[in-house]
Amino acid sequence: MLAWEVLRAVDERGAYANLLLPALMAQRRLPARDRGFATELTYGTLRAMGVLDLLLGTATNRPVEAVDPPVRDALRLGAYQLLHTRVPARAAVASTVDLVRQTSGERPVRFANAVLRRVASRVVETGGDIAALVAAPSYADDPVGHLAMVTSHPRWVVETFASALQGDMAETRCALEADDQRPTTHLVARPGLIDRDALLDSVRQAGLDAEPGRWSSYAVRLAGGDPGRLAEVSDGRAGVQDEGSQLVVTALSQVLTVGADTGVSVDLCAGPGGKTALLAGLLPRTRLVAVEPRAARARLVARAVAGRSNVTVVRADGRRCPLVPGTADRVLADVPCTGLGALRRRPEARWRRPASEVATLSSLQRQLLVAALDLVRPGGVVAYVTCSPHPAETTEVVADVAGQRADVSVLDARASLPGVDDLGDGPFVQLWPHRHGTDAMFLAILRRASP
């Protein structure tokens, strides 16, 4: 029932499953075993929705989109159990039929029972081979279409990953499959408040399995458990933050500026504040201006940096930042994007974002990068960051903006991430879940020319 409630909330009001599900499980005090199954069932169903709908479409007498939404979500949950879990087929069908009865009454029960029995039979007949179940095109004839179906991604996302990986379809498959792996939780030890070793010791004393991050000096990776139980997270000495996000912020803090510093830096798109809090600790002698246009997110930023005397939160559009142009030493432009780099953490996102949004976002991203470059002083640096590998949001934006400005040079961002492997030929950095175990963060570092 809990997984169904989350699916309905995602469908009806655009809820975020990674926020809603933990809250509901805590509210209802689910035991650990039930929490694990509820998490797998919810996130797995949302990730696999495209394939599940194709599979259900082979077993219904009507288009899947025409099925009553509450019943459709129940059928998706049942189909996921049949395809991806060890739940016996009879139990999966029975529990789903009971769910339909509880949530939609008796009328659709026979329909649901018949559909799931057909799905169960097809899974047995094909041995659970997804390509056979959904009649995917052969890899030889249509590699993009094949991968879209068997990895349950929209075709445009597969094309995007392939483009970002220079057409390497074998690695594209690895990147897509990494989206379906359950992500580990990464913590950040905020500099000046707690160090990584102390945080690691505390996590282990709390009975949680953990290890140091692979790349960031501030990262702790949890094998499981609720980070909200930790006092360090509750009081703000530590936070939940992907290691890739830590790396791009650390890189900006380590790039040398040229000329005399003003002592002012800017986080141009600060909400919800995790990167701001880390940057404030890495640059303790700098006055950091955190810019965020939305009131709710500005409050989150203020909460994240509570106790940091070197941070000022300003409600403003980053494209019209109320600072004197040419006065900042460093600017972080972590721009709004499609979020394709965090699909493993946001299971519904791959179906929520249409390809048509990319053009609108890339226009905004260009405007924000121009604003960041205008803010930074000659000799200062800008970190352009997205949580997306889409070339239209990453390399194309930087090339377009930098190509129109004689006062800007693109630095080799790899030099700011010593010890991080497999970063390609530069000058940009593209992290990947399947390569680095992080979100697919993109980083470009640009410098305003000195006069």
Structure tokens at 250: 């650390």
C-alpha distance across the termini of the chain, in Å = 64
**Residues 6 or more apart from 447 whose CB is under 8 A from it?**
255, 258, 379, 380, 381, 382, 408, 409, 411
Element (H, E) at 84: helix 69-84
**Active site residue: 269, 321, 337, 387, which one?**
387
Average pLDDT, the chain: 95
Cβ-defined contacts of 14-18 (< 8 Å, 24+): 14/352, 16/346, 16/348, 17/42, 17/43, 17/46, 17/346, 17/347, 17/348, 18/43, 18/345, 18/346, 18/347
Average pLDDT over residues 416-422: 95
* Spatial distance between the Cα atoms of 260 and 256, rounded to a whole number of angstroms: 11
Residue bearing the bigger pLDDT, 37 or 341: 341
Q: How many CA atoms lie within 13 A of 111 on its CB side?
A: 18
Average pLDDT over residues 44-64: 93
Of 157, 189, 197, 191, which is closest to residue 173 (Cα–Cα)? 157
What secondary structure, in 3-state letters, does 268-310 show? CCCCCCHHHHHHHHHCCCCEEEEECCCHHHHHHHHHHCCCCCC
Q: What pLDDT, on the 0 to 100 scale, is given for residue 33?
A: 78
Report whether 338 contacts 268 (CB < 8 A): no
Please provide the DSSP assignment of 139-157 as one string. Answer: TTT-HHHHHHHHTT--HHH
> Tell me: the pLDDT tens digits for 211-252?
999 999 999 999 887 888 899 999 999 999 999 999 999 999
**Residues 6 or more apart from 307 whose CB is under 8 A from it?**
236
Q: Dihedral sign for Cα 374, 412, 450, 398, please.
A: negative
> Tell me: the pLDDT tens digits for 248-307?
999 999 999 999 999 999 999 999 999 999 999 999 999 999 999 999 999 999 999 998
Q: Residues in the chain, how many?
A: 451
Average pLDDT over residues 348-370: 95
- Bridging pattern class, strands 442-448 and 376-386: antiparallel
Residue identified by tokens 């809820």 is 15
* Spatial distance between the Cα atoms of 180 and 12, rounded to a whole number of angstroms: 24
Report whether 238 contacts 189 (CB < 8 A): yes
- Cβ-in-10-Å burial (0-12, 13-18, 19+) of 181 comes to exposed
Average pLDDT over residues 74-92: 95
* Spatial distance between the Cα atoms of 217 and 338, rounded to a whole number of angstroms: 28
* Spatial distance between the Cα atoms of 286 and 430, rounded to a whole number of angstroms: 28
269 noted as active-site residue? no
> Tell me: the pLDDT tens digits for 305-328?
998 999 999 999 999 999 999 999
Report whether 192 contacts 172 (CB < 8 A): no
pLDDT over threshold 90, residue 31 = no
Structure tokens at 372: 């960041």
pLDDT over threshold 80, residue 32 = no
> Tell me: the pLDDT tens digits for 381-406?
999 999 999 999 999 999 999 999 99
Q: CB 141: neighbour CB atoms within 10 A? A: 8
Q: CB 366: neighbour CB atoms within 10 A? A: 17
Report whether 447 contacts 427 (CB < 8 A): no
Which of 5-9, 26-30, 366-370, 374-378 is predicted with the least confidence, judged by mean pLDDT? 26-30
b (16+ CB within 10 A) / e for 44-82: bbbbbbbbbbbbbeebbeeebeebeebbbbbbbbbbbbb
- Bridging pattern class, strands 210-212 and 219-222: antiparallel
Q: What pLDDT, on the 0 to 100 scale, is given for residue 451?
A: 67
Structure tokens at 449: 């020319």
> Tell me: the pLDDT tens digits for 94-113?
999 999 999 999 999 999 99
